[in-house]
Amino acid sequence: MLAGFYYGYMVRMAIATGMRAGELCALKWTDIDDYYIHIHAQQLTGRGKGNTANFYVDWTKDEKGISRGGRQFPITDDITAILDDLKKNQLEKNIVSDYVFCKLNGDWIKIGSYHAWLREFMKSINLPVTNNHAFRMSLNSNVFIPNGIPVTDRARLLGHSVETNIKHYSYARIGVDQEIIDRLNGKVAPKLPQNIIDFESTKKKKA
């Protein structure tokens, strides 16, 4: 349950923002502005003499080793709720850390540990999600596109090129014909973003 405490918030933030796993691990409280999240760093894993090391770099995957200032993701009501809830829980547990997502002792989360936990958690609730990347694709296809966000903005928010967004992140949704008909007939407005996993409810059921 304690492990789920910090991993669960990472899952919720990944769903809400589409941040990469390495970006979540490297996110610091100083990166959180009143109006946006400044995504400009990532945690990488390197192999030395029989050891595996995790290190912080001030550039994202799409910047390819040269910092260009990163990107900004606007703070939504959902993101505000996630961060407020996390802060409250960290205060109650006397957790102090520069990192938004950290262990109970304040150390940052290692990307390998997050990936391993995510696979096991999704398996335990019978969902076919195997990695954090699925949240990025889902946000683009199930939230951004149905809500009419232009491809240029989708690419900017997720931190990749327009070509990448179209070729690798945009997939056809299943069972939405009636929704399309209703929209064309002007009966409904675009849906608001919805979490694909209600982590809090799931956690309570498993507790």
Tens-place pLDDT, residues 131-182? 999 999 899 998 999 888 999 999 999 999 999 888 878 876 666 566 656 6
Is 183 contained in some domain?
no
Tens-place pLDDT, residues 4-27? 678 999 999 999 999 999 999 999
Whole-model pTM above 0.85? no
Is 174 contained in some domain?
no
Tens-place pLDDT, residues 78-107? 999 999 999 999 999 999 999 999 999 999
H helix or E strand, kind and range, residue 14 = helix 2-17
Is 11 contained in some domain?
yes
Domain containing 63 — which CATH number? 1.10.443.10
165 close to 48: Cβ distance less than 8 angstroms? no
Is 35 contained in some domain?
yes
**Considering its fold, how many domains does the chain have in total?**
1
Is 77 contained in some domain?
yes
Q: Which of 29-33, 118-122, 187-191, 194-198 has the highest mean pLDDT?
A: 29-33
Question: Where would I find the beta strands (DSSP E) of the chain?
Answer: 36-39, 42-47, 52-57, 71-74
Is 146 contained in some domain?
no
- Domain hosting 22: range is 5-129
26: CB partners within 8 A, 6+ apart: 41, 42, 43, 56, 57, 99, 108
H helix or E strand, kind and range, residue 79 = helix 77-92
Is 201 contained in some domain?
no
Residue 11 tokens read as 């899952």
